[in-house]
Structures are given as C-alpha cells and as structure tokens.
Amino acid sequence: MHRPLHHRADAPTPRPKGVDGAPIAAVAALLTATLAVSGPLATPAAAATKAQPVVDFNGDGYADLAVSAPGGTVSGAAEAGYVSVLYGSAAGVDTAHPRLITRATEGVPGDVEPYGAFGRTTAARDLDGDGYTDLVVGDFTAPAVLWGSAKGLRTGTALPGPADSLAAGDLNGDGHADLVTAGDQGLDVRYGPFSRAGIPSSTQVLPFKDGDHPKAVAVGDMTGDGADDLVTSHSFDDVQGKSRFWAGGKDGVSSTSKTTGHYTTGGVVADVNKDGYGDLVAQQGNQMSEDGDWVAGAVRVVYGSASGPSTRTTKITQDTPGVPGASEEGDHDQHPGDLFGYSLAAGDVTGDGYPDIAVGVPGEDIGSVHEAGAVVLLKGGAAGLTGKGAQAFHQSTPGVPGSSEEGDYFGRSVLLSDVNADHRADLTVATPYEDGAHADSGAVWVLRGSRSGLTTGAAQSFGPRVLGAPEKEARFGDGVAR
C-alpha cells in the first residue's frame, strides 16, 4: 500500500491524526536526473575544513547512536515518543545495554503527552564544553538537552521552544558548539558554551517573512575559514525556493544570505574533494514540488569556495556511470519513484581521508518488491563526488539481515559514524516502517566500513523488541541524532 510521501527525513514530523487532524508521519521524497559538471576548480583554502565531531556521550572514543521513535507509546500515552541511546564499542553497537529516554525518565524535563512525538527532532554536540557530547531532543513542546558524562547521558534541562528542527555546529569558530533551532519566527542561533541551566553565551535571531521559513538546515564550513556556515531550504505549499547560504564568522552568522542557485532540500556539508572547502551535498528538486513523491531522484553537489557556494556543481543520479541501479519514476498512482537522495550522510568509510556520502533510496524496488528501499555509497576523491566505486545495499543483499518487503523504505534515514573506533565510518540505516511483531515498529541496521568500502561482515540489525523498548507503531529509526 502506498503511503503519502510528503514527510522528509530532515523536516519536522507532522502532527499525527488526533492533533489538529494532520496525518501521521510518513516517508517522503524528491528529485531529478543526469550528471552535469560546470565551473572552474576551487582554489585550495589556507586551512582544511573541520572534521565532524564524534557523537560520544560517554567520552570513550566510540561513536554512539541516539535513535528516535516518535510513534512509541509511553506510560499509556499513544505516540508520546522516545529515544533509544546505544553506545559504541570495539565490537560495534552495544545492544545489550541500551538507554531508553522519554519524558517520563527521571531528570528529563516536561510531561508525557499523547501525540507529543518526543524525538521528532534531535541534535548532538558538546554544548557545555566538558568533553562529552550532549543530546538535544525536540517534540511538539519545548526541547530538552541531556548532558553527557563519563557514565553516559544524565539529567536534562528544558530549552526555550518549540523547535521545528534542530542543527548544531560552531558558527563563530570559537571552538564551542552552537545550536540552531527553526521556529515560527525564523532561525534562533544560540551560541555556546551553554550553562547547565541551558543558557547560551549569547543568542541571535535570523527573521524570515511569512511563508518563507526554513524547512531544513545544513551546517558546515563551506568557506574554509574555521567557522561553520548555514544552508537553509525553503518551500511554501507546492512551491520550492532555491536554498540559501548564510556565512558564519568570528562575529556569528551573517544577517544576509545569498542563493546557492539550486532547488535543494536539507543535505550535508562535507569536503568531498579535500580542497579545504566544505561542499553542499543535497537533494535536487524542482521549483514546483507537487510531483515529489513520484520522481526518480537526484543529488546535487555544490562545491565550496572562499566565498561559499561556487559555480562548480555536479548532479548524480542512478543513471550516472558507476552508480548501481537505474533512475525510475513512480506511476503517479500507487507506487512512488526511487527517491534517490531522500536521506544523506557524510563520513570517511574507507579511511583514505576523503568523506564518502551515503544516499538513501527508500522508494527503490528490489525485484518485484515495491518500495523495499536501498542505500548507495558514493565515494569522495580528488575529483570530487562521482559514481566511481559506488556500492549499493538492501535487505536482499547477501549478508544483510532481514528480507526485502513492500513498503519497508530501507534507507529512509542514514548516518555515517565510527561506532567501533577503527578510523573508518560505519553505516547506520534506520527504517521506521519495518514491520516486527507490529506494523511500523521500525528497525536499524549497521554495516561496517573497510578499506574497500562498506562490508556486510559483522552486520548488525535490531529493533525495539531487542532493546526492550515499546514496539507497537513506534517508528523506531525515524531519525538518528547527528
């Protein structure tokens, strides 16, 4: 059965039915086709862009996971939502000692609310500068920050809200993490370090006109100056605007923006060609987005420069040489398109120093199984992002646990992080529509990185039941904190 595909991985979860009559969250979509490169090569920056901080709540050097399940029932409240925290180890993700966090957890501010969707948005950074990653969790009220420690996440603090989306980075280059929240007034930038009362060192508001509020935010250093920048995505009804670049700097985020020149949504910033400038890798859309559910999908790379987005760009699809599969559109009736690029993540899988990009393809048909879903790994290199050496994985790939089933949307959410600390990023695939004992209980897969790319050796898979968490319609894997 076709689910309406209008909820994006990097957009806020819509209110479920029963709250203002809006639909329960579902998978979403975009994009177009073919490979195109234009513009001159960028001049190398004086200093290389910063590496993405490790999400390490207990400071042991292994990347940890915080997996959202906004549909989970908590204390009898339907769709109150929860987050499962799993710590990394030399053996991979430790599923034997998970931490379940809800509004009912001791030390977490706020009350359990039916349809509150705790975990609908998350962000992970060391906000107080103590060396341990902290976790910010949002719902339909005020977000909460849980503080990292040598023993993992501890007591939380309420932050002013609500926040339709969350993102984090170092926007003034002072070495302290900053938090960006999107709300009704625009973007709130809260500069670190934060006090344990949740109070930032300073704040800034980037206001937007009605109907022009950011729908998603990507953070990273595109200019190579040591301060992260913002790229915001915009749409209103069925009309999408071109994404905008906001430069970070020693005085904070610029109050003026410039267009990237492309209709992109969300994405990641990573220096895929190691020239010292972060590159925007995002989903490519069209100005009119009403057909987003049915497109084959594409990824747009906008290469960075000293002034931000440059004129050098690349478009990659499943028709690009070396990329597995084929670009397939939907039937505008029952089955969506492949949705290549619906979710994206950056990390160095091979350990060669170049960031690689994991691309979710949740609408991919596997044989005759519709919308089973897949993930494609695109490898970074001196020439930038291409299809050379690309890999594809799905639940019918030998060594991947499970089996491809209609409507799984494998690849709905992806993350690249080094959970076993071997200096190679591992792929986390979160699939909230996987069926367990209940429909849409959700599940997560972890594939290891290696010198040659991703491998199915020692692959892991787990869902709420394995972790002792609420399972019924939990949508476990709706997001993974980064």
CA atoms of 131 and 149, how far apart (whole Å): 8
Strand order in the sheet with 92-101: 92-101, 82-89, 65-69, 479-480
Which class would CATH give 163-463?
mainly beta
CA atoms of 367 and 375, how far apart (whole Å): 15
Per-residue pLDDT, 289? 59
pLDDT digits (tens, 9 = 90+) for 356-377: 999 999 999 999 999 999 999 9
Per-residue pLDDT, 34? 29
Measured in degrees and rounded to the nearest 5, phi and psi for residue 292 equal -60, -30
Per-residue pLDDT, 24? 30
Per-residue pLDDT, 67? 98
User: Of residues 289 and 107, which shows the higher confidence score?
Assistant: 107
pLDDT digits (tens, 9 = 90+) for 303-345: 999 999 999 999 999 999 999 999 988 776 788 889 999 999 9
Per-residue pLDDT, 149? 97
Lowest mean pLDDT across 16-25, 194-203, 277-286: 16-25
CA atoms of 12 and 7, how far apart (whole Å): 8
CA atoms of 260 and 6, how far apart (whole Å): 24
User: Of residues 160 and 457, which shows the higher confidence score?
Assistant: 457
Report the Cα 389 to chain-centroid distance in Å. 23
- pLDDT over 70 percentage in the chain: 88
Mean pLDDT, all residues of the chain: 88
Per-residue pLDDT, 29? 33
Across the range 201-220, mean pLDDT stands at 88
- pLDDT over 90 percentage in the chain: 77
pLDDT digits (tens, 9 = 90+) for 46-74: 445 567 789 999 999 999 999 999 999 99
pLDDT digits (tens, 9 = 90+) for 259-291: 999 999 999 999 999 999 999 999 998 776 555
Per-residue pLDDT, 477? 97
Contacts 24+ apart (CB under 8 A), 127-132: 127/168, 127/177, 127/179, 127/192, 127/193, 127/194, 128/192, 128/193, 128/194, 128/195, 128/196, 129/176, 129/177, 129/192, 129/193, 131/59, 132/56, 132/57, 132/58, 132/59
pLDDT for residue 415 is more than 70:
yes
56 sits in which H/E element: none
Across the range 120-149, mean pLDDT stands at 96
